[in-house]
Amino acid sequence: MKTIKVILICLMVISGYTFKINGQNDQIDSLINTCYKRGIFNGNALVIKNGKIIYNVSKGFTSGNKTNQLSMNSIFDIGSIAKEFNAVGIMMLKEEGLLSLDDKISKYQLDLPEWGKKITIKNLLQYSSGLPKVDWGNVNSDQDIYKNLKKLEKLQFEPGKGYLYSNNNVFIQRRIIEKITGLTFTEFLESKILEPVGMSSSVIDHQYENLNFVRAFNSENINDNKQELKMSGWVCPSIYDLAKWTNHLLSYKLISKKSLYQLFENYSKGAESALGNGEFENEKLTLYEHHGSSSNYESLVHYNLKEDTSIILMTNNKSLKIAEIKEAISNILKGKTYEVPQKSIYLTIRKKTYTNVDEGIEYYKKLKEDSYDTYNFTNEWELTRLAYKLFEKNQDEDAVQILKLLISELPKKSEEALEYLGSRILNENKPEKSILVYKLIVNKFPSAKSYSALGGVYYRKKQFDEALKNYKKSLELDPENKSAKKMLLTLSDYTAKSNKEQTDNPQQFTEFEKLKKDIQQKMSKHNLHGLSVAVFEDYKVIWNHEWGIKSADSNEKIDQNTAFSTASTSKAVVAILCGILEEKGLINLNDPISGYLKRWHLPKSDFTQNTQVNWLHLLSHTAGTTQGGFADFYEGDNIPTIVQSLKGELLPRYDKEIDFMFTPGTDWEYSGGGYVIIQMALEDHFGKPLSELMKEHVFLPLGLKNTTMKQPNEKGFLTNVAKVHNSKGEVIRTGLPITPQVAPSGLWSTPSDLSKIAIEVQNALRNTNNKLISNAVAKRITEVFTLKKTGGWSAGWRRSFGFANRDWFSHGGSNTGVGGEFMATMNGGYGIAIQANGDKPNRIPVMSFLRNEIMTIRDWNLPIDTSVLKKAPTHLIKAIEGPYLDFLYNTQGINRISEEDGNLFISSPLFKYLQNSEKNAMYYIGNNTFKVDQYPNYLQFNLDDTNELLSITVFREQSKKNKIVIKKEDIRNHKTQLIDVFSENSIAVAIQEYKRIKKEKPDLNYERILNEFGYLFYIQNKTKKAVEVLEFNCQEHPESFNTYDSLGEIYEITGSFNKSIENYKKAMAINVSDNYQKRVKQKIQELESKMK
């Protein structure tokens, strides 16, 4: 083998000199230029022959913004090629006698389960360990990956008995290097590899602050999001540094020839080795190639050692053509004819196809007729990829149309492509879509194999009759089919009756069994002690399950009768009571509430001079009252009466009497204080505590045995209850919060009892099987009262969620250390009740996962009616793209409208944290109006004569009843810019932009804005950024006690007690009111006791 001359290469790099050999340089340059013009290459290329650089070029831009040109110093993410560094590190340690490839990984004390005693280091290098793939959707760091491995009970297969390309193998290699060397993997890379090799331009992991690090972007020139890598230790080099690395590798300067060849050993033919792919002749390496990809980054290294040629390609705009470009360059170097890669037909027709599949197919045919030489019509994977994307978008019928086109265009190549697609979709747990693919296969290519495959999908979906039918067809075509024979024996015990029983009883589903384990793992990950759920369908409870313990200070398990503090869910139940009492003629919800009050009277206000506050205003949060929510109290506290509460006395969060912010009925503002007024009106009017009224009129008639509005300090409180916990998993004080404001947050209940309440409302809405609530009452309390701010609210219920494209009435609840969800569909009898005894960061990720998994498993999703959809005009898309303050749900976050592959999407913080969706599709129905996936309202964008956005109309019904019009300037302004920059950038960059905006717009309430951002980031589990923002707020507003109080609270819940106390004391020095001083002194004493 000829040694590639590293020194000569380095000299040529410094001089910038490029050799021309027999015109090959010109040919390669012509090829690259053509590829660039066709939009299939934006990146760097390096070609070496006989130890000399014959071609090097930077073609294109450093990001989708297309403002800065690439250079040969540009740094790229090289994806899986970076796995070579840990593999070589392992071999370096082997050669030093510090490890053996036959060592079991348990030798290195990684605190892994028993399976660590089976897996060898060689298994890791060859991906034959049996370790599953990393669950990227549920990890954010090395620590998360490590935790998941420690919880892993079983391998996918016995080590050495199979192959699975999993990054868990890479992760453990890096940890072994750390154990042996005592260095972090980053330190090892820097000192043992990058520095000795001279890779001075390289960085480890994404370093966006490095001006040479390029941003990846898609075919629409939209940059990938900046993000921290979920696994650390990825070398990102320049193209010259990558050349240095491979030259050192192939010239045995890092490891010996023997070790190098060992790294090329793979588990089986077609399987990846630790170095990608290597070819040998007469025990001599003749070709080395490795491909890497990450998001829209893509790189390829190709060394032909027989010809002494090397090709390195790096791109930040993946076009799926890098391998074809390499092949063309290779042919040029060999003096052969070559084909310029053709433009991707997939990338070209996808926009039209996503909008209208018939137009997409017509466009395909036209391009084939007019531009056959420009596009790739012979590669079966182009249309296969398009079909896959359509399945991803839930355009299943369109996907089938494309697959039919594939079969007709490429009948000899399509069967293999369809088999791959069906298998891939099935592995993604989408059996319904996989069935559509396999049905096409058996129709066009009937065989024993295809019928067995279809039978297998039906079996996995628990449709045993269909599975049996297809396995029988398989056996008819091949009587010796052992697999089909075995499955027929398995299925013989299943009948149509048992199949129905499986469907009716989800507890028998393997998916629910798996869900139980998944939830347990997530609870452990998020330090959540206890969780309880009830699922109802077709107006009956079909599944209950409980996980964990009632309290961190005991091992007593949660059971079906364990009650939780439900917090604000109380409001929805109070609304039911009011509706029932009105129907009995005992109150009138249209009456002014003042006529029912005796112990206290509404404060005078300019807002209520001409409009009196009635019950419905208060129930629907449209009264304009202050006092949004309340802090919890515990045994031993000075607990206010509700009169004191309304006067603002003894309240940690308020020191003023409840007041009005706007004229009743003109706006919406969540107000727990408004429900305290309702509580007082009920108790004054009936002469009974609210807890007794609820028991008499609701709880006893519905048979709710584990539900009460009595508080822990009252006689008759429940005994089987879950305690509340802070984010560290510790019981908060006594663990039993006392809520004198009973109406807004004093209910204790179980998911089972809450389900009974919801099902009663559902039955009342359909006027069937309802025992207590009438049809009129159900309609009265669930009818949408307003769309302002939240997207929908009725008299007591939230009406703004669109999960599974269904219409819901719901109410969440969140007190410190406890909370839950309570939601039911207006039609069909579907619903879920969940309660958990942890703080927001502990419970929200687990509850959201549980809810979304249940909806998926039970297939609750209703597809969008595509027959009414149209293509959005270009001028409309241009006018509405970009960030807005969240107008969908009025959270402290951003809605961002963006175009992707011809489709529009809109993001919302609630989509992310409730649906685990970064963005939801927007479907155009004409007249500048869109239906948003899993959101209940329509959005109409109003433009002026120059097609500039003026406002957005939000409406629920076609009659546009309760519609709201939101002006552009209210949601696209300086605050929009602020929250966008704080969300998307480091604190240093955000502060600079903050200062610029503050100079332009000095009159904004920046203290409040920054405080909101701090809590927003905390809820999003971005604790570091939350602290940074709140610390900056203290620097900006040192005169405000609230800034120090908020920072103290964040430090408290994150366990930094010294810093918490320090900031609470600063707050006390500013706020000298007796109530505040007393409360904070008590809190400081509690923190000091914890530190002892």
How many other β-carbons are positioned within 10 Å of the β-carbon of residue 958?
Answer: 7
pLDDT-wise least confident of 289-298, 674-683, 723-732, 897-906: 897-906
Q: What angle, rounded to 10 degrees, do the helices at 974-984 and 987-1000 form?
A: 170
CA distances from 181 to 175, 187, 191, 195 (A): 10, 10, 11, 17
Which tens digits make up the pLDDT trace of 1070-1089?
999 887 888 899 889 988 88
Kind and range of the H or E run holding 954: strand 949-955
Q: Taking a C-beta distance cutoff of 8 angstroms, is the pair 821, 810 a contact?
A: yes
Residue with tokens 């660039």, as numbered in its chain: 36
The secondary structure of residue 940, as a DSSP letter, is: E
pLDDT at 301: 98
Token couple for 1083: 């809190």
Phi-psi domain of 830 (left: phi exceeds 0; alpha: psi -120 through 50; beta: other): beta
C-alpha angle 231-235-240 in degrees, rounded to nearest 5: 160
At 610, phi and psi to the nearest 5? -110, -10
Separation between Cα atoms, residue 155 and residue 146, nearest integer Å: 15
Residue with tokens 């904070």, as numbered in its chain: 1080
Q: Which residues pair with 914 in a beta bridge?
A: none
Token couple for 961: 């009843």
pLDDT at 156: 84
CATH classification (class only), 345-506:
mainly alpha
42: exposed, middle or buried (Cβ count in 10 Å: 0-12, 13-18, 19+): buried
Closest Cα partner for 574 from 724, 683, 666? 683
DSSP 3-state of 564: strand
pLDDT at 169: 97
pLDDT at 494: 55
Domain residue ranges in the chain: 79-234+252-277, 345-506, 521-857, 866-972, 975-1091
At 842, phi and psi to the nearest 5? -80, -40
CATH classification (class only), 79-234+252-277:
alpha beta
Kind and range of the H or E run holding 938: strand 938-943
Domains 79-234+252-277 and 975-1091 share a fold: no
Q: Taking a C-beta distance cutoff of 8 angstroms, is the pair 92, 192 a contact?
A: yes
CA distances from 1089 to 839, 973, 1057, 1058, 1083 (A): 21, 46, 10, 12, 10
Closest Cα partner for 755 from 819, 677, 703, 818? 703
pLDDT at 57: 96
Instruction: Tell me: pLDDT of 762 over 50.
Output: yes
Closest Cα partner for 262 from 142, 120, 444? 120
pLDDT at 493: 56
What is the maximal distance between C-alpha atoms in the chain? 102
**More confident position, 467 or 669:** 669
pLDDT band at 442 (very low <50, low <70, confident <90, very high): confident
CATH topology of domain 975-1091: 1.25.40
CA-based end-to-end distance of the chain: 69
Q: Taking a C-beta distance cutoff of 8 angstroms, is the pair 531, 547 a contact?
A: yes
Q: C-alpha 489: how far from its chain's center?
A: 42
576-580 mean pLDDT: 98
CATH ID of 521-857, from 3.40.710.10, 3.30.870.10, 3.30.460.20, 3.50.50.60: 3.40.710.10
Separation between Cα atoms, residue 205 and residue 77, nearest integer Å: 8
Mark 490-526 as b/e (b = at least 16 C-beta within 10 Å): ebeebeeeebeebeeebeebebbeebeebbebbbebb
Backbone CA torsion sign across 768, 770, 776, 777: negative
pLDDT at 13: 37
Average pLDDT score over the chain: 90
606-627 mean pLDDT: 97
Instruction: Tell me: pLDDT of 25 over 50.
Output: yes
Which tens digits make up the pLDDT trace of 93-140?
999 999 999 999 999 999 999 999 999 999 999 999 999 989 888 899
pLDDT at 942: 97
pLDDT at 427: 59
The secondary structure of residue 973, as a DSSP letter, is: S
Token couple for 180: 């042996």
Q: Please tell me the chain's helix, strand, coil percentages from 3-state DSSP, rounded to the nearest 5.
A: 45, 15, 40
List, in sequence order, every beta strand (DSSP E) within 104-184: none
Instruction: Tell me: pLDDT of 540 over 50.
Output: yes
The secondary structure of residue 735, as a DSSP letter, is: S
pLDDT at 501: 44
pLDDT at 511: 66
Residues, the chain, total? 1092
CA distances from 1003 to 72, 975, 979, 1034, 1039 (A): 47, 12, 17, 18, 17
Token couple for 988: 């240093």
228: exposed, middle or buried (Cβ count in 10 Å: 0-12, 13-18, 19+): exposed
C-alpha angle 141-81-134 in degrees, rounded to nearest 5: 35
Q: Taking a C-beta distance cutoff of 8 angstroms, is the pair 906, 895 a contact?
A: yes
Instruction: Tell me: pLDDT of 460 over 80.
Output: no
Instruction: Tell me: pLDDT of 920 over 70.
Output: yes
**More confident position, 320 or 494:** 320
CA distances from 854 to 319, 363, 560 (A): 37, 40, 18
Backbone CA torsion sign across 845, 848, 850, 856: negative
Separation between Cα atoms, residue 829 and residue 540, nearest integer Å: 7
CA distances from 454 to 398, 416, 437, 451, 1060 (A): 20, 15, 9, 5, 60
What is the three-state SS of 782-832?
HCCCECCCCCCECCCCECCCCHHHCCEEECCEEECCEEEEEEEECCCCCEE
DSSP 3-state of 69: strand
Mark 10-39 as b/e (b = at least 16 C-beta within 10 Å): eebbeeeeeeeeeebbebbbebbeebeebb
948: exposed, middle or buried (Cβ count in 10 Å: 0-12, 13-18, 19+): exposed
Q: Which residues pair with 736 in a beta bridge?
A: none
Instruction: Tell me: pLDDT of 23 over 80.
Output: no
Q: What angle, rounded to 10 degrees, do the helices at 448-460 and 411-427 form?
A: 20
Instruction: Tell me: pLDDT of 149 over 90.
Output: yes
Which tens digits make up the pLDDT trace of 236-251?
999 999 999 999 999 9
638-663 mean pLDDT: 94
Phi-psi domain of 564 (left: phi exceeds 0; alpha: psi -120 through 50; beta: other): beta
Closest Cα partner for 640 from 680, 606, 604, 669? 680
Instruction: Tell me: pLDDT of 958 over 70.
Output: yes
User: What percentage of residues in the chain have a pLDDT greater than 90?
Assistant: 71
648-652 mean pLDDT: 91
157-176 mean pLDDT: 91
pLDDT band at 255 (very low <50, low <70, confident <90, very high): very high
pLDDT band at 492 (very low <50, low <70, confident <90, very high): low
Which tens digits make up the pLDDT trace of 40-93?
999 999 999 998 999 999 999 999 999 999 999 999 999 999 999 999 999 999
Instruction: Tell me: pLDDT of 813 over 80.
Output: yes
CATH topology of domain 866-972: Lipocalin (2.40.128)
**More confident position, 793 or 219:** 793
C-alpha angle 39-44-50 in degrees, rounded to nearest 5: 125
